Amino acid sequence: LLAPMPPSHQQLLFAAEILFLDIASDASSNILVRHFSSTEEVVLQHAPALCPHPYTSRVIGMNAVRSYFDLLATHWLRSETKLHSRRVVEGTSKVTVNASVKWTWRLSGRSWREDFLCTLEYDDNLKVAQMIIETNSPQGTCVMRAIDADPLASGELPMSPAVSNQPSLKVQFSPTLLGFSDRGARD
């Protein structure tokens, strides 16, 4: 038997583009999980690029991927998703995407921009087996580290405050506390 041909550069770039089109259009988690592998254990990680322990933000399994997208949809509005560049990593089935997104807290209306590098590793069926998102903008802009508080109160300016009558609410999410992984976060 012949081994299957690895996906071509064009196929990989197209698969990444379609995933980001669905993300940008606020597709439901039911639609988004269809982009992920059903034949390999899926890994998703979203953390600041300078995070000393990025694996603490790693979640594993399809239920965790669905929960990740549900969490985003529950707490934030996503807009102005832009792909700045995308390329195939030579000799692999990986695509790197430099992109940005504007996040807005549903509760307070405060918003900010997250710039990130997303590395997508595909299986032989052009489904995402691994999605690693590294926030390149300041750490406070990583949506998984976001705190809905008045940035002026702390002296920091990680988010652009929006006009709001809502009181500040400090919320920080932990993947393991949310049961965000099928088997817990891994190091």
Other beta carbons within 10 Å of 29: 16
58-88 per-position pLDDT tens digit:
999 999 999 999 999 999 999 999 999 999 9
Indicate whether 90 belongs to any domain: yes
Q: Are 123 and 39 in contact (CB under 8 A)?
A: yes
DSSP secondary structure of 2-23: PPPPPPPHHHHHHHHHHHHHHH
Strand partners, 45: 58, 132
Per the structure, how many domains does the chain have? 1
Domain residue limits at 135: 9-154
pTM: 0.78
pLDDT, position 151: 54
Indicate whether 174 belongs to any domain: no
**Alpha helices for the chain (secondary structure H):** 9-24, 29-32, 62-75, 151-154
Q: Which residues contact 173 (CB under 8 A, 6 or more apart)?
A: 71, 144
Indicate whether 100 belongs to any domain: yes
Banded model confidence at residue 97, pLDDT cuts 50, 70, 90: very high
8-26 per-position pLDDT tens digit:
999 999 999 999 999 999 9
pLDDT at 168 over 70: no
Indicate whether 104 belongs to any domain: yes
pLDDT at 180 over 50: no
Separation of alpha carbons 88 and 16, rounded Å:
10
Closest CA to 133 of 68, 45, 64: 45
**3 state DSSP class of 71:** helix
What CATH number does residue 49 fall under?
Answer: 3.10.450.50
Q: Cα separations (Å) of 99 from 82, 103, 124, 127, 133?
A: 5, 13, 25, 20, 10
pLDDT, position 1: 64
pLDDT at 182 over 50: no
**Alpha helices for 120-173 (secondary structure H):** 151-154
Banded model confidence at residue 160, pLDDT cuts 50, 70, 90: very low
Indicate whether 17 belongs to any domain: yes
Indicate whether 187 belongs to any domain: no
Output the CA angle 24-25-29, nearest 5 degrees. 95
pLDDT, position 2: 66
Indicate whether 162 belongs to any domain: no
Indicate whether 173 belongs to any domain: no
